Amino acid sequence: MRKKLLEYRNIAAQFNTIEGQTNTLNDIDLTIYEGMSLGIVGESGCGKSVTARLPIRLLPEPMFKVTNGDVIYHHNGEPFEVLKAKQNGKEINKIRGKEISMIFQEPMSSLSPIHTVGSQMIELIMQHTDMDKTEAKEHAIHMLERARVPRARDVYDDYTFQLSGGMRQRVMIAMGVSCSPRLLFADEPTTALDVTIQAQILGLIKDIQREQNMALVLITHDLAVVANMVEEIAVFYLGYIVEQGTTDQILKSPKHPYTKALIASIPTLHTNESLKPIKGSIPDPYSKITGCPFWMRCDKVTAKCREEVPPFVTHENEHKVRCFEA
């Protein structure tokens, strides 16, 4: 039986800004198990990155506020209520970077340009381990080598602005896994990289996940990216999970109209058919929508869809869908 690692229990959250309140997360009910790989997929602004940052409290509180639910991290056999801890308190700092780590979308905004790669890595390693500076340096170089960084000892002394985009992303991966986390969030880790480098980075993340038997949550807007990377997929739309199941269920037997539209919009080499973009656009995050969040873009919309939010229903083989017509 799989052991639970992280649970989102009916989470609702919002940002309070000058423009108003956003529809950020709604009724997020999600469980991540030890060693599993999960893809979180959806368009920009649907709540993917917020979901990833919530367990390690990397959100601008009090502008960001959780209005309902709990996040439970299972630590040494004991449930830890993440949202009840101080944002930068000792309890969260012990978990952040050590047990739950993250690879960010753009390394240049996450890595310091005025400190060397090595100084940033050993600070993290020494914070979460008992290694001294010499041991931390050797461990950092070893992790750079594992992340397939050429000339790892030289790169250790480089500044991040001296490195290419692909190299910076490898440094981020080396940092992310240097303390052997139990769970790694990879938030759009191949954005702005060319296709060849993308494949290398994704393959590297998958290899390290297997080697360290850590859980992986891969966040992307592209279903094609997760096809060979994860065992389960959760499809997000406007702060809701609208469908969740195994990778085969989602890609071969999608039930939600949004998931079907995402798949239909993926270009292939073996068809002469034109692309089928999803009609309309994602609503403004400040808009107050009644009913199903997708009804304005859906071909199967009914009066009930406009009035009520569909429940998240479990079908056969744990395939979950939020749709009245599924």
Residue 226 lies in a domain: yes
Given 164, 180, 196, which residue is the final one in a domain?
180
> Quick one: 91 and 127 in the same domain?
no
Given 165, 180, 195, which residue is the final one in a domain?
180
Residue 303 lies in a domain: no
Total domain count for the chain? 2
> Quick one: 166 and 248 in the same domain?
no
Q: 260-315: per-residue pLDDT in tens?
A: 998 888 777 666 667 777 887 888 888 888 999 999 999 889 999 999 999 999 99
Amino acid 56: pLDDT: 93
> Quick one: 209 and 95 in the same domain?
yes
Maximal C-alpha separation, the chain: 67
Amino acid 107: pLDDT: 65
For residue 36, the enclosing domain spans 4-99+182-275+310-321
CA-CA distances (angstroms) from residue 109 to 104, 203, 225? 9, 23, 23
Looking at residue 194, what DSSP letter applies?
Answer: -
> Quick one: 63 and 145 in the same domain?
no
Pick out the chain residues at pLDDT < 70. Answer: 107-108, 192, 269-273
> Quick one: 196 and 257 in the same domain?
yes
At position 302, the amino acid (one-letter code) is T
Residue 213 lies in a domain: yes
Residue 295 lies in a domain: no
Amino acid 272: pLDDT: 64
Structural tokens at position 225: 């990216």
> Quick one: 94 and 191 in the same domain?
yes
Q: What is the dihedral of CA 50, 51, 56, 59, to 10 degrees?
A: 20
Structural tokens at position 64: 């960001």
> Quick one: 146 and 203 in the same domain?
no
CB 202 within 8 A of CB 219: no
Residue 80 lies in a domain: yes
Q: For 162, phi and psi rounded to 5 degrees?
A: -85, -5
Given 140, 164, 180, which residue is the final one in a domain?
180
Q: What is the C-alpha separation between 13 and 262, in angstroms, rounded?
A: 25
Residue 284 lies in a domain: no
Residue 301 lies in a domain: no
> Quick one: 155 and 28 in the same domain?
no
Give the CATH number, domain containing residue 70.
Answer: 3.40.50.300
Residue 288 lies in a domain: no
